[in-house]
Amino acid sequence: MADVILKGLNKRFGDTQAVSGLNLAIRDGEFIVLLGPTGAGKTTTLRLIAGLERPDSGRIEIAGRNVAGEAPAERDVAFVFQQYSLYPHMTVYENLAFPLKAPARQLANDEIDRRVREIARMVRIDHKLENRATRLSGGEMQRVAIGRALVRRPAIYLMDEPLSSLDAKLRGELRLELKRIQKELGSTLLYVTHDQMEAMTMADRIGILAEGKLMQVGTPREIYGNPSSLHVAARLGQPHINLLPADLLPGGNPPAGTKTVGARTEHLDIVAGEDANARVDWIEHLGDQNHLHIRVRDHKLVTLADPYLAVRPGDRIKLTLRDPLYFDAGGQRLG
Ligand SMILES: Nc1ncnc2c1ncn2[C@@H]1O[C@H](COP(=O)(O)OP(=O)(O)OP(=O)(O)O)[C@@H](O)[C@H]1O
């Protein structure tokens, strides 16, 4: 495992600047998630590190080496793709052992066996080692694909939305397992996704990527609680942050230059009774929570409420701000 440093990386495809002046230092043993919408440059960043694309300019260092001149196989990275890519004619065991059998590795058979069984246990596929890869469910195949990357000990694991083809329940389970395994192995891992839940639950640090640029890097807590811009604030939080004009709701203290107030659930107080300024439009029942759809003048807001909150569609309520986020006309955070 090793530090990976990206300095001033640029990559253009025709008219598209896929990656733009990207700087990032990934520490040894760190789990970094790049989060961004489709087309943000996430996959291109991974492919540049792996050596599958050449940067137009910039530098990539793996364990202190400038890897510009190195072919993908020399870079000591393991890549897990969105879709499992197993060898269908091989068993699970053979798929897991394959990366260890390269002649250059010169690993003894009992060492290969020990590592395969250890990883199979970690990704919970040890009961199916003799099955053909094609005789597995989608979730099991993806476990094997992840296991096949983990069985090696490269400088860095690069993972491109490895859980996105799975159903929600399995995704939730594998998310936790991947985090546990990464901690156990002390791996350095760069993971890309557009799923904020994956980013929040797995990352030591999240990098928010938009149009090829890294907008902010920080712990999940920093990115959520202290976003540097409106764009970053809008990437995280369910329901989405409400973006409101500065004078819409009472209770705030907007600094000079405020154009937009960002209010998440925790920034809104609902007060029943006198001088109502808002109306409950409708309520989405999610079981353990409700989404309240609220109208203030001609603005619509959505906030979470516990299911016992005694409001009904059509009720008038008083909505006030509590320590919201403030942004200037350019979308930069104020205060
Ligand atoms: N080989 C290529 N040729 C031309 N354009 C490309 C190529 N690869 C990527 N692009 C463009 O570069 C931009 C970034 O693409 P990239 O695949 O890195 O985004 P992404 O954030 O991974 O998106 P997604 O979540 O959809 O995978 C996009 O506009 C894409 O169309």
| pLDDT at position 320 | 95
Ligand 1, CB within 6 Å, residue ranges:
13, 16, 18, 36, 38-44, 194
Pocket test for ligand 1, best of 10, 12, 16, 83 (most atoms within 8 A of CB): 16
Q: Compute the distance from residue 39 Cα to the ligand 1 centre, in Å.
A: 5
Segments making up each domain of the chain, as ranges:
4-235, 242-334
Categorize the per-residue pLDDT at 335 as very low, low, confident or very high, splitting at 50, 70 and 90: confident
Determine how many CB atoms are found less than 10 A away from the CB of residue 196. Answer: 18
| pLDDT at position 234 | 94
Which residues have C-beta within 8 Å of that of residue 223, sequence separation ≥ 6? 206, 208, 216, 232, 235, 236
Q: What is the mean pLDDT of residues 220-243?
A: 95
Q: Compute the distance from residue 62 Cα to the ligand 1 centre, in Å.
A: 23
239 prior amide bond cis, ω within 30: yes
**Class of the CATH-defined domain 4-235:** alpha beta
Categorize the per-residue pLDDT at 273 as very low, low, confident or very high, splitting at 50, 70 and 90: low
What are the helix (H) ranges across 123-255?
138-150, 168-185, 196-202, 220-225, 230-235
Atom of ligand 1 minimally distant from the CA of 45: 18
**Nearest CA, atom 16, ligand 1:** 41
- The domain 242-334: what is its CATH number? 2.40.50.140
The whole-model pTM stands at 0.90
| pLDDT at position 106 | 79
Which residues have C-beta within 8 Å of that of residue 111, sequence separation ≥ 6? none
pLDDT digits (tens, 9 = 90+) for 180-218: 889 988 889 999 999 999 999 999 999 999 999 999 999
Determine how many CB atoms are found less than 10 A away from the CB of residue 248. Answer: 19
Name the residue type at position 48.
L
Q: Is 144 helix (H, G, I), strand (E, B) or coil?
A: helix
Categorize the per-residue pLDDT at 168 as very low, low, confident or very high, splitting at 50, 70 and 90: confident
Atom of ligand 1 minimally distant from the CA of 212: 14
Atom of ligand 1 minimally distant from the CA of 44: 18
Structure tokens at 42: 């996430």
Structure tokens at 68: 């510009």
Cα-based distances in Å from 66 to 4, 153, 249? 10, 20, 53
**Nearest CA, atom 24, ligand 1:** 38
Q: Compute the distance from residue 209 Cα to the ligand 1 centre, in Å.
A: 13
